[in-house]
Structure 1
Amino acid sequence: MPLIDIFLSTLNITLPVFAMVFIGIGLKRFRWIDQAFVDTASKLVFRGTLPTLLFFGLAGTDLETTLDPWMLAFFTLATLLSFAAAWGWALLRVRRPLRGVYVQGAFRGNCGIVGLALAAGMYGDAGISLAGLLLGVVILSYNVLSVIVLATYQPRETGGRGVDWAHIVRHIVTNPLILAVLAATPFAIFEVPLPDWLTTTGDYFASLTLPLALICIGATLSTRALRKGYRTTVSASLAKMVVVPAVATLLAVAAGFTGPALGVMFLFFASPTAAAAFVMAKAMGNDETLTANIIAMTTLMASVTVTLGVFVLRLAGLI
């Protein structure tokens, strides 16, 4: 395939996703939507439409061909390595009060929305199935590791509350995305058919997920505060959007991954910093402004870095 055709087909995968994010920015700026809409829509996506999308995406999956324990194990290992590397760099180059926020911003990706949307755009239902399986690993590892690093650098003025591990565990086991994956697994294992009317209704409801979620991401972005802590923001953003996906993907290639498995893992590695990082940083008394800056910059960078990454992998014939 000619080089220009590969590039244009890559744009067809990535641009629709990021175009929706920029549409969200525009809608908020023109006041067609407000914060109340964003809050309500975000809850609808997290509690309803996204779990529905994962459930129906996994329920009809052939797990014998889709489930790859080695892929799940590799992704877990790569996440741990990126976390450790970000923390090591922070010890050398980042001021102590900002280290927890830096590390979380440098390793925690928005896989549940941006990664899933890109996987669906690249591989359709097969991409959703692979992404759904990885999300279980993502939710568990990202939450636990973020709590560890943020608690380590939790300011003393927060009162030394420590970490409420019971709350964290409860948050993970009651996460709607994990529950959706667990609920869909028996249907996939025993190949239980779902009624056509239920599948059609589920598809209608689930189709709201990606447009709403991406618009909400755009609507919550703010570039006004990027001037504060600019160097730290840039450093964490480059780590998240360039270093981590490049190194992790090269390791995945060296480990023998190709095709959809490699493609979906790259999209997860290359996803911008998750919006949930802001909520957790604020709740644990860390610098929420720096967190918001990293989220904004990585999201803006993603339209370029993800497109280039997919283009290079397709050019090399790896995905």
Structure 2
Amino acid sequence: MFALFSQTLGITAPVFAMLFLGVLLRRLGWIDIAFIDTASTLVFKGTMPTMLFLAILQADLDAALQPALLGYFTLASIAGFLIAWAWSLWRCPRPDRGVYVQGAFRGNNGIVGLALATSMYGDYGLSLGGVLAGAVILVYNTLASVVLAFYSPTARTDPWSLAKSILGNPLIIGVLVAIPFAYWHVGLPAWLLTSGDYFAQMTMPLALICIGGTISLAALRESGGMALGASLLKMVWLPLLETLGAWLCGFRGAELGVLFLYFASPTAAASFVMAKAVGGNHQLAGGIVVITTLLAAVTTNIGIFILQWLGWI
């Protein structure tokens, strides 16, 4: 268990380092609100779609394409989304519900989940987790677009407007464009892949620095109750329900382990970027990212220990 704790800490510690760097840079005056707005736009419209495109392009679809597992993950994610939405009706004011729901169901699977799956199960975990990441990206970004648009003070919420909001989301466009390239194994020039990788590697540092730059103790105190409630839902209750459901559906071993790691991942930094892009409460979104990342080092290890003790994985 100590080895797994070290692995989890090794993945989450760099996240905190970049968050604190954002706080420090803002205090030193090296970055300001104008920089944060510009950098967030660059991440949302450029670097993150490129990162998602390359992740899908490089996934081994043939080695780990399991329709039952993908189907269960999709249904469980939708169920978790609906539970979070229903819970938000009692937990937070209407303007903050979209950000609350997104923070409570959307995991950082492309980085934390995939890294832990690879650490635990090697190449099989990498292939299985990589394919699962494709479903994650589509499901999470579609549901997040719906709930954020629904509670946005400026967005229209009729079906056609929601559809345009989803299909116009740069993150979803990045995935949809990548799917035919990955399916038909379309090759791209090596120089283009290298340049794209350079561009995509800016995603997490910029996103996390922007989160750190907007964090304030006053804002965390103001939204502390909501942020903590969304974080406990994300890191404790939903992983418990979704993993138990997977066991009841017959998943065992590596498949159940990877599902748990994905369900138990902390909230994705992309939730902050999307909340800021639609004019939502990005400070609440940042607070949820910080709290869930802190909790991950504890809840993930406890969950794996229990699953191993029960002989399920």
Q: Report if aligned partners of 2:18, 2:209 keep a CA contact under 8 Å in 1.
A: yes
Does residue 250 (structure 1) correspond to residue 244 (structure 2)? The answer is yes
1:105 pairs with 91, 96, 100, which one?
100
Larger CA deviation: 77-86 vs 27-36: 77-86
3-state SS, counterpart of residue 56 of structure 1: helix
- How much does 1:266 deviate? 2.9
Structure-2-length-normalised TM-score: 0.78
Task: Report whether the alignment pairs 1:141 with 2:135.
Answer: no
The answer on whether the counterparts of 2:227 and 2:291 sit within 8 Å (CA) in structure 1 is no
| Equivalent in the alignment of 2:3 | 5
Q: Which of 266, 271, 274 does residue 274 from structure 1 map onto?
A: 271
Partner Cα distance (1:16, 1:30) in 2: 21
For residue 265 of structure 2, give the secondary structure of its aligned residue in structure 1.
Answer: helix
Q: 2:290 aligns with which of 296, 300, 308?
A: 300
Identify which of 170, 179, 182 aligns with 1:185: 179
Which residue of 2 is the match for residue 39 of structure 1?
37
The 2-side partners of 1:31 and 1:184 are apart by 39
Q: Which amino acid aligns with 2:49?
A: P
SS at match of 1:194: coil
Correspondence 1:39-78 to 2 at 5 A:
39-78=37-76
- Give 1:224 shift: 0.7
Match for 1:312: what amino acid?
I
Q: What are the ranges of 5 or more consecutive residues in structure 2 without an aligned counterpart?
A: 120-125
Match of 1:171 among 158, 165, 171: 165
| Residue number in structure 2 paired with 1:132 | 134
The change in CA–CA distance for 1:121 and 1:219 in structure 2 (over 3 A counts) is farther
Task: Return 30-39 or 71-80, whichever deviates more.
Answer: 71-80
Classify 1:138/1:229 alpha carbon distance in 2 versus 1 (closer, same or farther; 3 Å): closer
Task: State the shift of 1:135 in Å.
Answer: 0.9
Cα shift readout 1:162-205 (whole Å, capped 9, x = no counterpart): 63543332221122222221222222212222222222222222
Describe the superposition over 1:116-147 as per-residue Cα deviations: whole angstroms up to 9, x where unpaired: 33235434975555323311111112222444
Distance 1:22 1:242, change over 3 A: farther
Residue 203 of structure 2 corresponds to residue 218 of structure 1: no
SS of 2:188's partner is coil
Q: Aligned partners of 1:12, 1:292: CA distance in 2, in Å? A: 26
The offset of 1:235, in angstroms, is 3.4
Note if contact 1:86-1:103 (Cα within 8 Å) is conserved in structure 2: no
Q: Which residue of 2 aligns with 1:285?
A: none
The worse-fitting range, judged by mean Cα deviation, of 10-19 and 126-135 is 126-135
The alpha-carbon deviation at position 271 of structure 1 amounts to 4.6
Q: 1:250: how far off?
A: 3.2
Kindly indicate whether the alpha-carbon contact (under 8 Å) linking 2:65 and 2:131 is maintained by their aligned counterparts in 1. Answer: no
Matched, 1:235 2:213: no
Cα 1:49/1:86, change in 2 over 3 Å: closer
Alpha-carbon shift at residue 102 of structure 1 (Å): 4.3
User: Is the CA contact (8 Å cut-off) linking 1:106 and 1:237 kept in structure 2?
Assistant: no
SS of 1:198 mapped into structure 2: helix
2:191 corresponds, among 197, 200, 207, to 197
Per the TM alignment, residue 19 of structure 1 is displaced from its structure 2 partner at its CA by 2.2
Q: Name the SS of the counterpart of 1:304 in structure 2.
A: helix
**CA separation of 1:94 and 1:263: change in aligned 2, threshold 3 A:** closer
Aligned residue in 1 for 2:123: none
Q: Rate the CA distance shift 1:205–1:78 in 2: closer, same or farther, 3 A.
A: same
- Pairwise CA RMSD: 3.4
Alpha-carbon shift at residue 279 of structure 1 (Å)? 5.6
**Which residue identity is paired with 2:34?**
A
Distance 1:207 1:70 in 2: 32
What letter corresponds to residue 245 of structure 2 in structure 1? Answer: L
Greater mean deviation of Cα atoms: 244-253 or 14-23: 244-253
CA separation of 1:53 and 1:80: change in aligned 2, threshold 3 A:
closer
**Length-normalised TM-score, structure 1:** 0.76
Q: Distance in 2 between matches of 1:250 and 1:280?
A: 35
Matched length: 296
